[in-house]
Amino acid sequence: MSQDASRDAFYRHVAQTSDAPLGLEITGADGVFLRTRDGREIIDFISGIAVSSLGHGHPEVVRAVQEQAARHMHVMVYGELIQRPQSSLAARLASLLPETLDRIYFVNSGTEANEAALKLAKKHTGRHRFVAFRDGYHGDTQGSLSVTGRDVYRTPYEPLLPGVDFCSFNDPAVMELITDEVAAVIMEPIQSEGGIIPADPAWLAGIRERCTETGSLLIFDEIQSGFGRTGRLFAFEHYGVVPDILTMAKAMGGGMPLGALASSTRIFRAFMYDPPLNHVTTFGGHPVSCAAADAALHVLLRDGLMERAANIEQTARKILKGRGIVEVRGMGAMLGLQLADADITRKTVAYCLKEHSILLGWTLHSDTLVRLAPPLVIDDDLLEQTLIKIRDAVAMQGRS
């Protein structure tokens, strides 16, 4: 298909989710750059929404994909068949997690991981109520949307899953909602789409204690914050609070689609009985995706890329000051640039793309916050140059 035919097919036949797509025609991507049909090199400063932490097309991940595809691609992923890519990745992950998170269930995406976590919590506890948080985001399927705390996205699809109570993030009032009727509390240790808002450490520890008291499970959604983006493998490690179920995706696959949930052998028994096969998947844990993920995790650890996240944060906080900038918040390379108003935010994102070929975006639940999530492999010079251009663009829009 020619480039002109591809563009025509995009607008005629690919279902759109907004009335004004960017329409950039991507012909290639490597490292921190996206390459377009018109010859531009665009700095992907959001890493495909926190996916491409190793940059685009890391050679070791590409090689793992090629070698596994040559061995075999899809075979039955859940059942009686042992597949080395799944087993290797599960063992590597389990060795890096607390001992209570010793088993991994592979799925295709973050939304599916959260769906499975909700079902597992209900099946294990025999309860049906959930506690979630306003401005929290857990996905777009009906179950994950039911625990997503933003009415503008929920209302068109109601009625949703019943029995969900919402509380404000970092609000101590949540303790009163966590009772012995609650199957689980689901939350992000750092709210992502809600505006890059970290949990208060004492508050998070209190939720852990309250869940233990009531027998409710604690689910941490680390779809965006996982795999080194905050400077640790998972954000919960900064807090010393261990969940009962951990969900992950995005950067996990090294650019391939993959998600998972980790929990204990004891809790996962609920998926084995009454009846057997009560939660299964056709493509979850696809061997090519698992091979890519295992290679990506190996590179992340071997090359010390998690340590880069702290350097990225320090540099961003040093440079991003001045007119129109209200605050830089977040952790590691999962940062939000809070601006004065929605108009400045919109103009800054548009200006950076048009004039500097820097791809930025905002979060779904905040139109005054620019998402900053560069690949962890970005070099210091390019990082500084990009941040200076963003800072100056904000100041320019603030004066206009």
CATH number at 64 reads: 3.40.640.10
92 pLDDT more than 80: yes
Cα–Cα distance list, 182 to 119, 244, 293 (Å): 13, 14, 34
3 pLDDT more than 80: no
The confidence band for 400, taking pLDDT boundaries of 50, 70 and 90, is low
Give this prediction's pTM: 0.96
- Who's near 26: CB < 8 A, 6+ residues apart? 34, 35, 36, 37
Residues 122, 16 share a domain: no
Residues 309, 293 share a domain: no
Residues 318, 252 share a domain: no
Residues 326, 247 share a domain: no
For residues 396 and 59, what is the distance between their CA atoms, to the nearest angstrom? Answer: 39
pLDDT at 16: 86
Residues 153, 205 share a domain: yes
Residues 154, 297 share a domain: yes
For residues 69 and 272, what is the distance between their CA atoms, to the nearest angstrom? Answer: 30
**The total number of structural domains that make up the chain:** 2
Residues 316, 271 share a domain: no
Of the residues 302, 324, 341, which one is the last residue of a structural domain? 302
Enclosing H/E stretch for 221 = strand 217-221
Residues 381, 296 share a domain: no
161 pLDDT more than 70: yes
Whether 327 and 376 have beta carbons less than 8 Å apart is answered as no
Least confident of 196-200, 210-214, 283-287, 366-370: 366-370
Residues 350, 281 share a domain: no
Residues 64, 51 share a domain: no
1 pLDDT more than 80: no
Cα–Cα distance list, 353 to 57, 107, 134, 235 (Å): 22, 34, 31, 30
Of the residues 302, 328, 360, which one is the last residue of a structural domain? 302
For residues 297 and 189, what is the distance between their CA atoms, to the nearest angstrom? Answer: 21
Residues 392, 368 share a domain: yes
218 pLDDT more than 90: yes
Of the residues 280, 302, 324, which one is the last residue of a structural domain? 302
Cα–Cα distance list, 133 to 174, 199, 212 (Å): 9, 11, 19
Residues 69, 15 share a domain: no
Domain that holds residue 192: 59-302
**What CATH code is carried by the domain that includes residue 19?**
3.90.1150.10
For residues 129 and 185, what is the distance between their CA atoms, to the nearest angstrom? Answer: 9
118-155 pLDDT, tens digit per residue, is: 999 999 999 999 999 999 999 999 999 999 999 999 99
